[in-house]
Amino acid sequence: MEIHPQRENQPNIDFAEIKFIGLHAGWWIVELIAIVTNHGKVQHQLEQFEFDLNALGPDDPVEQRAQWGNQVHFPQLVTKGSFLPDGTQYFFIDPGGTARYSHVTRVSEQTRFLLLHAWFQYPGNRRLHHAAESTAAVLVGIPNKIASEGNILV
């Protein structure tokens, strides 16, 4: 029987969601959410907590690209940035702790699909990183009242 160490000094972290808030003046208001939970037993510092949101529109070809491991290419950059506030170089999360970060942006109602990439670096000489992705279909024909209640989570 092979025994695997618990690796208690290594992070065990989850994150990345896309939430549709509502439709207004031809734009979806969308909240990009990063939820970081430290399931490990030691505190972790994380740096360069960044994201980009890309879209696939109705006129874009549906292509797979080798650069993405033969996954679908989302050619339109909607926005990119950092989940960290300006001037903040890192954040930390204690064992058993959960932190929530968000960024609110707009997406054209013509957009069909979204792909959120989010990543951060671990400090130190190893320059390890952690990345996550989330995809969502842009909701077509959903009444504004339902979407604005904030309970549509894709």
| Confidence check: pLDDT of 2 > 80 | no
The Cα–Cα gap between 137 and 114 comes to 6
pLDDT tens digits for range 86-109: 888 888 889 888 888 999 999 999
- 3-state secondary structure at position 144: helix
Give me the residue spans of the domains in the chain: 17-140
The Cα–Cα gap between 97 and 120 comes to 17
- 3-state secondary structure at position 119: strand
Using a pLDDT cut of 70, give the percent of the chain over it: 79
| Confidence check: pLDDT of 73 > 50 | yes
Query: 39: how many CB neighbours lie within 10 A of its CB?
Result: 12
Mean pLDDT (the chain, rounded): 82
The Cα–Cα gap between 111 and 77 comes to 12
Task: Tell me what pLDDT residue 44 has.
Answer: 81
One CATH from 2.60.40.10, 3.40.640.10, 3.40.190.10, 3.30.300.30 for 17-140: 2.60.40.10
Using a pLDDT cut of 90, give the percent of the chain over it: 44
pLDDT tens digits for range 47-66: 888 999 999 999 999 999 99
- The structure tokens 């969601």 sit at 17
pLDDT tens digits for range 136-154: 999 775 544 444 444 444 3
| Confidence check: pLDDT of 134 > 80 | yes
Task: Tell me what pLDDT residue 120 has.
Answer: 85
